[in-house]
Chains A and B, each alone.
Chain A
Amino acid sequence: MSMRSVIAAAALASLADMAAAGGPGLGVPLAADESPFYAIYAMPDGRGLPPGSGTAADGAEIYAAKCAQCHGETGIEGPIMPPVGPNDVWEKPAGKYWPYATTIFAYIRRAMPLDAPKSLSNNEAYALTAFILSRNGVIAEGDTITAETLPDVAMPNRDNFTDVWATQGAKPW
Chain B
Amino acid sequence: MMADPSVSAPKLEFAAGGGLLSRRMLLRGAAAGSGAALAALAMPRPAQAEPALPEWVTVAGERARGYGMPAEQEADVQRAIIEPFGDLARAFSLSGTPHHKLRGTITPNGLHFEVHHGGRPNLDPDGHRLMIHGMVERPIKFDLNALERYPMVTATHFLECSGNSFFNAVMPEPMQSGCDMLHGLLSNSEWTGVPVRVLLEEAGVRPEGRWVLAVGNDAPSLARSIPVEKLMDDAFVALYQNGERIRPEQGYPMRLLLPGFEGNMNVKWLTSLWVTDAPAYTKHESGEYTEILANGSSVKFTFAMGVKSVITHPSATMTMSGPGFYEISGIAWSGAGSVRKVEISADGGESWAEAALQEPVLPRALTRFRLPWRWEGAPTLLMSRAEDATGAVQPTRSSWKARYDPSNFLHYNAIQPWQITPEGSVQNVYA
B405–A22 touching, CB < 8 Å: no
B201–A21 touching, CB < 8 Å: yes
B146–A27 touching, CB < 8 Å: yes
Chain A interface main SS type: loop
A27–B85 touching, CB < 8 Å: no
B297 part of interface (Cβ distance < 8 Å): yes
A40 part of interface (Cβ distance < 8 Å): yes
B301–A163 touching, CB < 8 Å: yes
Q: Which of B72-80, B135-143, B173-181 contacts A (4 or more CB under 8 A)?
A: B135-143
Q: Which of A4-12, A109-117, A128-136, A138-146 contacts B (4 or more CB under 8 A)?
A: A109-117
- How many A residues are at the interface, by size bracket? 35 or more
Chain B positions within 8 Å of A23 at CB level: 150-151, 194, 198-199, 201-202
A76: min CB distance to chain B, Å: 15
B141–A27 touching, CB < 8 Å: yes
B303–A40 touching, CB < 8 Å: no
Q: Which of B15-23, B97-105, B249-257, B277-285 contacts A (4 or more CB under 8 A)?
A: B277-285
Question: Do A99 and B286 form a contact, CB below 8 Å, given A22-B195, A40-B134?
Answer: yes
B118–A27 touching, CB < 8 Å: no
Q: Which residue of B lies closest to A40 (CB)?
A: B274
B242: min CB distance to chain A, Å: 24
Question: Do A30 and B131 form a contact, CB below 8 Å, given A25-B202, A43-B280?
Answer: yes
B278: min CB distance to chain A, Å: 7
A107–B304 touching, CB < 8 Å: no
B82 part of interface (Cβ distance < 8 Å): no
Can you give 19 A-B contacts (C-beta < 8 A)?
A22-B195, A26-B149, A26-B150, A29-B140, A30-B139, A30-B141, A39-B131, A94-B286, A103-B280, A103-B286, A110-B220, A111-B220, A160-B296, A161-B300, A165-B301, A171-B304, A172-B302, A172-B335, A173-B291
Query: Assuming A170-B230, A172-B306, what are 6 further A-B pairs, CB within 8 angstroms?
Result: A30-B132, A44-B278, A114-B89, A161-B297, A161-B299, A165-B301
